Amino acid sequence: MTQTSEAASPKHRKRFPSWMYKWTSSIRYKWMLLLFLFSLTPLLALGFISYSISKSTINNKVTEYSEQLLKQTAENIDTRLGIYKDMMMQVVNNNDIVSMLRALDRTDPAQYDLDSLSLTTKLSTIIAINQDLQSISFISPDHFIKGIYRWNDRSNEKVSPFLQTLEDGSNFRWFSTRIGTYVDSLNTQTVPVFSLAKQIYKMSDDSPVGIVAVLDIREDVLKEIGARTTKSHMDIQSFVIDGRGQIISYPDNRFLGQSVKEVLGEDGYTDMFRGASEESVFPLKYQGERLIVNYKKLHTNDWIVVNVISEASLYKDSNRLLQIILVIAFICILFSIVTAMLLANSISKPILGMIRLMRQVMSGDLTVRFKAKRRNDEFDILGENFNYMVTRIDGLLETVYEEQNHKRVAELKALQAQINPHFLYNTLDIIKWTALLQKANHAAEMVSLLSRLLRISLGKGEETVTVEEEIEHVQCYLGIQKFRFNFNIETFVHMDEEVRTYRTPKLILQPIVENAILHAFTERETGEIHIRCGLHPDGGIRFEVQDNGRGMEPAVVQSLNRHEAPSADKVSGIGLANVDERIKLICGKPYGLDIQSESGVGTCIRIRLPEMK
């Protein structure tokens, strides 16, 4: 079941990115995510709702306010234009002025420009009453009659539009803004002006006299009215255009006299003149900026007052509110993250500590213990149970180890009881002397070798012998084998002096040498076996048994290193595995056999042991 779960885990990981798997697999990150969402979601929802409501409210209020301002601006301009019409009537209904103009107009037509000090004096009184007027002039088909100032440009192209007023009867005619240059004997002035023109009639019979009166009014008047009316914290731009879309008044003088397309684009011009409505409001996007455009036609003429509001300024307060919400949200996010981390750590840290302790127990360390924080919570209870479980496991393992040790000692004592060493040694000694008396020298030597071999093997019932005794044991074994098989295998023993008295588990070299004799040289008549013993570079001692036999295949070497004896080498594999297992039982898991072999070259088996004295 465990293997299936572990095998399924990588497949599960492949379905999600690593960061997503981390957040979905760890209880710590689950807690952090849960606390983060629960704290941030209400805040974001409240902020979004507040921003939407404030934006909608501001939009409605500002649009309504802009319409009121537009209406007020239009009324103020209508009132001011009505004043100019009244001033015009004062001029054209003044008998003295009309008489002077008729007299001047009857002069020689060859003299186009006419001037009269009396007329200028009369008009100065009217001009003094209203400072909005720049100049008063009079035009007939034959003459230009100077009023206050003389126009610098009196060409037919400039004058002819004003003469068309003669065709309007008694109606007023308004002219769009132009840059007028005025000269007199003292100075020259260049001023943006718009004009009001009206035909002059006789006072006696109301017949036309063929002269047009022209009032030039400073454009600044309209600009001041718009600025004064729309003066507020909002960025509302107010200007005036005529019925053809030509700009009459604008905050920037560069656009005076140009088409409204220059400031609102083609779409703005189309939306404004699409219908015949007197007033309207529409949204507009021009040059990447979102605008709200309000316009209203004047009652005095066909001019249109336009208010333009930038949405950026319109929603400036709501955007400030959004920024405040975002700052608060950011602070709350930091607070939520810190709080979530602290709470998640308070839950996950004891669990992670428990997991580390469990892994140490899995690796064989049963000395670890969980340190309770004395909070008397579930983690302390879990830790106490964990400590009790580890203590019980350690006690059970110790009991099992002692039982196994007692079992081995009992088995060894039973074996020793079956074979009385003194009886065995005495019997072998008698056989040796009998063989010598009968001149069977080989038999006597074999009995002597066997006696020494058994003496070292049985020893005193201990698990270890000295290195020197282990070497002597294997030499006795080689001596007996030479008599048995009469083989021609040379053996060489290399032992460092400092390791002679070190102790080693007994009977560990004989199975290895036996394995070399039986399997490494089955197809050869001669060979060499080198047995070395010395200090290990990393501490402890090292045995090495090396032959120049036929070697083994890599698969066989891997199987033996894993202590899995193949069928072909079942007996030898069991012998090597038994040696490795006894070494690990006596010395510990880090120690044991390491087999290296190359087919056709030979085999080298190394044994690493701790220092035991």
Confidence at residue 12, expressed as pLDDT on a 0 to 100 scale = 44
Residue 447 CA: distances (Å) to CA of 70, 454, 461, 465, 480: 133, 10, 22, 22, 9
Q: What does the radius of gyration of the chain's CA atoms come to, in whole angstroms?
A: 60
Rounded mean pLDDT for each run of 10 residues along the chain, 613 residues in total: 41 49 58 70 75 72 77 90 91 88 81 82 81 88 86 85 88 91 81 93 85 92 83 73 91 89 89 82 85 89 89 69 76 77 75 82 82 71 84 86 74 51 56 66 70 69 84 84 74 91 89 84 75 91 91 85 56 70 85 90 92 87
Cα separation, 20 vs 30, whole angstroms: 11
Cα separation, 569 vs 277, whole angstroms: 109
Per DSSP, the three-state class of 552 is coil
CATH number of 27-332: 3.30.450.20
Residue whose entry in the numeric block shows the structure tokens 């703005």: 268
Residue 190 CA: distances (Å) to CA of 135, 150, 218, 252, 481: 12, 12, 11, 16, 135
Residues of the chain with CATH 3.30.450.20: 27-332
For 129, list phi and psi in degrees, rounded to 5.
Answer: -70, -35
Q: Which residues pair with 90 in a beta bridge?
A: none
Confidence at residue 315, expressed as pLDDT on a 0 to 100 scale = 67
Cα separation, 210 vs 168, whole angstroms: 12
Confidence at residue 213, expressed as pLDDT on a 0 to 100 scale = 92
CATH H superfamily, domain 462-609: Histidine kinase-like ATPase, C-terminal domain (3.30.565.10)
Confidence at residue 484, expressed as pLDDT on a 0 to 100 scale = 65
**Type of residue numbered 346:** S
Residue 318 near residue 59 (C-beta atoms within 8 A): no
The tokens for 305 are 């007052």
Nearest to 40 by CA among 324, 337, 344: 337
CA dihedral sign, ordered 198, 201, 206, 210 = negative
DSSP 8-class letter at 113: E
Nearest to 304 by CA among 293, 292, 291: 293
Count, in order, helices (H) and strands (E) of the chain.
17, 19
Residues of the chain with CATH 3.30.565.10: 462-609
Confidence at residue 360, expressed as pLDDT on a 0 to 100 scale = 85
Residue 545 CA: distances (Å) to CA of 77, 109, 474, 506, 593: 118, 143, 11, 16, 11
**Type of residue numbered 92:** V
The tokens for 63 are 């649009």
Confidence at residue 440, expressed as pLDDT on a 0 to 100 scale = 64
